Amino acid sequence: MAGSSGMQGQERGHGAHRATHRAELRRWLERYGVRPSRRLGQNFLVDDYWAERIVAAVEPGPDDLVIEVGPGLGALTERLAQRAGRVRAVEVDRRLAAALRERLGHLPNLELVEGDILAVDLDRLVSRRDPAEGPVKLASNLPYAITSPFLVRWLEAPIRWERAVLTLQAEVVDRLVAAPGAAAYGALTVLVAYHARVERLGTVPAGAFWPRPEVDSAVVRLWPHPRPPVAVVDPAALFALVRAAFSQRRKRLANALAAHPAVERAQAEAACRAAGIDPGTRPETVDLEGFARLANQLFPPGRPPLPGGGPSLDIMNNEH
């Protein structure tokens, strides 16, 4: 599930690579009455070294469309626009969007979209004028508060994309790359593993951001699977089952599965045995393939679809 790259070995020793423009950026924001918002998770990347490394991982090409979520002060935006065919940057803060237009509005291939990435039409966002154009790529220093709901929404959307390079809270990245049995392994791990391969690229120190966050961040690159790595009758049933299991992660697996409204304890016990899984094990020991076998046992072909099925935007919040 996880990988590495040359970035990992170079992440130490760059503490001195801090932006020299912090005072200038503060003055620029003050002109627009913009103060970094804790509610919006605004910790702006101001380290030139890391901005270059992240853009290099995106590998924007002259025919590519790059979607950027939360451009902030434009540390990635300007670099992306210099190399990509087109950049669409989605910014929820209107004052910051106005400031970015003044600063980067001269870039002819940059389109700034004002709006909440959790509400915008993703189909329209990634639409191309010409289907023969290059791939869609995603880049973001993702605000911590929307990490889980955005990942769920992006991965579940019926859109075609080639890669995503994201800067996330290091603790979240630990969850994405966790192996079964690890404390960080959970519902989000399983969801992402179903949709994409995760490659951890390196840890970004807190000092690379302004204001300085209380935790470190990490960069990951996601590669979408050309087809799901497991065969399931009903993906919505799979994710509903995973949510139920991890909402009771300290219980026996069969008891945890019975938290699903459509699953009785006796059914859960029988499904575990049929899937070759000990009903007494804990949910965090079951890998994606195991959950797929369980879902196929409990929700076979011909069973009516689950009402309101599929992964929810609070998939991480139900893990206890």
The answer, yes or no, to whether residue 161 has pLDDT greater than 60, is: yes
pLDDT digits (tens, 9 = 90+) for 192-249: 999 999 999 999 999 999 888 989 999 999 999 999 999 999 999 999 999 999 998 8
Burial of 261 (0-12, 13-18, 19+ CB in 10 A): exposed
Phi, psi of 65 (to 5 degrees): -105, 120
- Position 316 scores a pLDDT of 45
pTM for this model (two decimals): 0.87
For range 315-319, the mean pLDDT: 48
Q: What is the mean pLDDT of the chain?
A: 87
Higher per-residue pLDDT: 64 or 308 = 64
H helices present in the chain, as ranges: 6-9, 22-31, 48-58, 77-83, 94-104, 122-125, 147-156, 170-177, 187-195, 235-247, 253-257, 265-274, 288-298
Q: Give the pLDDT band (50/70/90) at residue 301.
A: confident
Exposed/middle/buried for residue 320 (C-beta within 10 Å: 0-12, 13-18, 19+): exposed
What is the percentage of the chain residues whose pLDDT exceeds 70? Answer: 83
